[in-house]
Structure 1
Amino acid sequence: MAQILLVEGSASLRHAYAATLRSEGHRVTAVADGAGALAAMSDARYQVAFIDMTQTNSSDDRSTLCAQCRALHPDCRIVLIADGPSFQAAAAEVRRGAYEILVKPFSEFRLHNCAVALHDPPPEEDENRNAPLGGFQGRSVRMGQMFATIRAYGRSGAPVLIRGAPGTEKGRCARAVHLASGRAEKPFIELDCRTRPVEQLEAELMGHLRGAFVGALSDRAGAAQLAHEGTLFLDEVGALPRGLQPMLLDIIRSATVQPVGSTVPHRINIRLVCTTTRDLDQAVADGEFDNRLRDRLCVLPLDMPNLADLGDDVLEIATARLRTLAREKGRRFVEFAPDLAPRLQTLPWPGNLAELTETLRHVVTSHDGTQVELEMLPLELIQQLDIGPMPARGTAVRPRPDTFSAGVPRSEAQTATGALATAEDTPRTPAEDVALSTLIGRPLAEIEQLVIEATIAREGGSIPRAARVLQLSPSTIYRKRESWRK
């Protein structure tokens, strides 16, 4: 059992907490203030310290005591005891490295759970705290900070709230926090809080007994009970119905869960990790989210970056995902073509990592090769790219030999290209009249293809720019070119 230091100003609570911990077999030294705590720490080594934050004052500042405890005993894991007024100060200490917060009043089960979890050895810390983990890639400062934060949060037992736009893979991050924690070998139970009737969501969270409601044909453990000793992951907790929010708050406070139809609470020991795309502060202001629950869930916030903000990491992330998808589909893709690779980071990627993954899945499913070429991307993405440097006006740019219909002689195509390249800047010459005469008598569809391809060539291969010149939509040109290849 653990050697525990308890710092509690209230004599009655100090006695009650110490008695509970001793009944579980722990060795407890109970003191009333910071001076007593420092004296105790100079005489013995403690694995766990419970420090009451509600009694702090100018002569006995508990934040200072936490810092002194970390300095004297770096391996001692700290749990803060707080109430409403002292909660934010306690949360700040958790972000500095304390393990967890117990908010008064709390059950003896919560006290016991903390002591047990803290007695277990913490997960080994990686030599490189900024190294990628959890299936994420990236070498930028922003991603390195995220990896370090995940590892730091893994060493805590406090709730984590992962915030970010849709598609930023908040769920993957939640699992990474779990795998970085001392609970990595224990259950990771996910519950989606969106688009479900309140009664169904309550039964899935709390569990139910047979006959508790119509359709309850047998006893069933809920997500909270299944996550015992592990992590309960609440996806999109901002969508949790208002009626269920007090139930979740009670689970956090009491460390118990009472299934629907039961009168007997079950003890649980869980760590909460939640995600949200919703601004919970605004939801509280709108009266749609309990401010107490918001505070309890957001002890350790983690903000996911948008893909478009990751700069050079975009190519590394895209390449890693391309290779993974290629292996799954039995394809040969390993990289992006040189003219495409640097342009990936110029796309806005409003759907973030989810959009990138689905785009690459489409490419890998529809094509094969060692390189992803520009024309393999979906049309809507190609239209967003500014392809190639724009040539100087009046300069003839020769198209590739395969860009013209087999029915149009190459010499005529080149002549027409030259005519189009200079038409806007100089008056027509007799030579251009001759070039124009070569089109007379040909099918209109053939002439249309020749003019479109020549304009694309003049615009340096940029279909969006060619579309503006021809007063067409880019999608029209893409459709026509696709039909010409058939």
Structure 2
Amino acid sequence: MSGASLLLVDDDVDLLRLLSMRLTAAGYRVSTAETVQAALAQLAVSTPQLVISDVRLPDGDGLALFGEIRARLPALPVILLTAHGTIPDAVDATSRGVFGYLTKPFDSKVLLDKVRQALSVSAATPEAGDEAWRSDIVSHSSAMSELLGEAKLIAASDASVLIRGESGTGKELLARAIHKASPRAAKPFVAINCGAIPEALLESELFGHVKGAFTGAVNHHRGLFQAADGGTLFLDEIGDMPLALQVKLLRVLQERAVRPVGSSESVPIDVRILSATHRDLDAAMADGEFREDLYYRLNVVALTLPPLAERREDIPLLANHLLQRLAEKYAKQLNGFAPDALEALSTAAWPGNVRQLFNAIEQVCALCTASIVPLALVQRALRQPSAEVLSYAEAKRRFELDYLTRLLKLSDGNVADAAKLADRNRTEFYRLLQKHGLNAAMFRGANDGVAD
């Protein structure tokens, strides 16, 4: 399986470089990690087809890493690299499911043979690549895991699915994932935003038209239903579809045929419908803006994507994934976020959800000049003034200092007058001045010459 992706884990930098060169020369795509935690971080972002790990690592061992992989990705094969003293551990590991082990030093041919064997067994395993259908959805939160489990089950059927969720939560990504996991995966996936196309054009886009059907119709045009024949049609923002078109869409779903604009003949179609909306369709039906019969046709199964604020554990994972993706676009070497920058991302409100996060990370990538993204750039992308990230104690200290300074200026350094303005007794006011290192005498005469 030349071209397969491999993850190498070893704290010996020289050996890591040598193995990478050998495997890359053999046509494999190689990524590396020097610790258990670094390996797990990479596995959270993307899944290789094979892991090769040393048994002894600085923050744990290859057996602990194997245990984590076994729990998360049971079909992913693992090869352990061992010194003579750790052979018993490796032999024991093979009984627990490790594909095999190599004893250092080893011949390149032996390594490549073992890699080929592991990949051939992996390719023959039914579970292998089981997550490929959802590879574009980066997540490890329980809320998303539950949702994706439901989506995988639903994908096997031909039922219409209504995907609900706020703008920017990734409704089209979920629709594409359902299509990839379905029996229609080899056929087209066609998406249209029903709210982005004028009503006069939407009917023609969906159902097609014949030549001469209207001014400007100089050729026959196959609509999106015909383009998606055999596959999946995704109707995004279905709640914005005009009522007149809702009637025609309902007829298409009932008859499984479309009639192009200007034609007297219907064309049979075989299309699975996935739709999405951020609108409250129950309220739209109550207001007469959405047809109830169409709603029940589309809403055979409903899935609701949680907003980003309800799956905050995904934010660091998403942020780092997007950073690496966008760093390639901007040809920059970016290694991650400073801890306080990642904390700011994780605690932000994100009303625009994943789409807003993507835009923020893109801005950060465009402006960053260091290998680690600093807090200041994240604050700028979030449009946060620096005061918003002050601790309460620091904000209070700054306010008190500024307030006392202004009072002393107004009272020309007279403590009794300043205390009276603050509605505090003189003793308490002196304590505040002492706390902030202020001397009232410094402000006497401060108003001289201010005005004639």
Query: Considering the TM-score relative to the shorter chain, is it more than 0.5?
Result: yes
The residue aligned with 1:248 is 249
Mapped partners of 2:220, 2:285: distance in 1: 35
Which of residues 405, 410, 432 in structure 2 aligns to 1:426? 432
The residue aligned with 1:205 is 206
Q: TM-score, normalised by structure 1?
A: 0.55
Following superposition of structure 1 onto structure 2, how do residues 67-78 of structure 1 map, counting pairs within 5 Å? none
Mapped partners of 1:212, 1:230: distance in 2: 27
Mapped partners of 1:393, 1:425: distance in 2: 16
Is 1:369 equivalent to 2:370 in the alignment?
Answer: yes
Shift of residue 195 of structure 1?
A: 4.3
Shift of residue 140 of structure 1?
A: 1.6
Give the aligned residue type for 2:337: F
Per-residue CA deviations over 1:176-227 (Å, capped at 9, x if unaligned) read 1111111111111112111433221111111001100001010000001110
CA contact (8 A) 1:332 1:368 kept: no
Give the aligned residue type for 1:382: Q
The residue aligned with 2:393 is 390
Shift of residue 349 of structure 1?
A: 0.5
Mapped partners of 2:352, 2:320: distance in 1: 18
The residue aligned with 1:299 is 300
What is the count of residue pairs matched by the alignment? 292
Following superposition of structure 1 onto structure 2, how do residues 24-423 of structure 1 map, counting pairs within 5 Å? 126=127, 133-379=134-380, 380-383=382-385, 385-388=388-391, 390=393
CA contact (8 A) 1:131 1:147 kept: no
CA contact (8 A) 2:315 2:346 kept: yes
Mapped partners of 2:228, 2:430: distance in 1: 71
Mapped partners of 2:217, 2:251: distance in 1: 24
Gaps of at least 5 residues in structure 2 are: 1-124, 399-428, 447-452
Q: 1:225 to 1:128 in 2, by over 3 A?
A: closer
- Superposed CA RMSD in Å reads 3.3
Q: 1:281 to 1:126 in 2, by over 3 A?
A: farther
Q: 1:180 to 1:433 in 2, by over 3 A?
A: same
Q: TM-score, normalised by structure 2?
A: 0.59
Per-residue CA deviations over 1:304-356 (Å, capped at 9, x if unaligned) read 11111112221111111111111121112231101222332211111111111
Mapped partners of 1:362, 1:375: distance in 2: 12
Secondary structure of the residue aligned to 2:283 is helix
Gaps of at least 5 residues in structure 1 are: 1-123, 396-422, 441-486
Secondary structure of the residue aligned to 1:161 is strand
CA contact (8 A) 1:230 1:270 kept: yes
Q: 1:392 to 1:211 in 2, by over 3 A?
A: closer
Q: Percent identity?
A: 35
Shift of residue 434 of structure 1?
A: 11
Mapped partners of 1:394, 1:243: distance in 2: 62
Give the aligned residue type for 2:433: P
Q: 1:169 to 1:374 in 2, by over 3 A?
A: same
Mapped partners of 2:262, 2:318: distance in 1: 48
CA contact (8 A) 2:133 2:177 kept: no
Q: 1:428 to 1:180 in 2, by over 3 A?
A: same
Mapped partners of 1:381, 1:329: distance in 2: 22
Per-residue CA deviations over 1:426-456 (Å, capped at 9, x if unaligned) read 3359x8559969xx9xxxxxxxxxxxxxxxx
CA contact (8 A) 2:345 2:378 kept: no
Q: 1:126 to 1:432 in 2, by over 3 A?
A: same
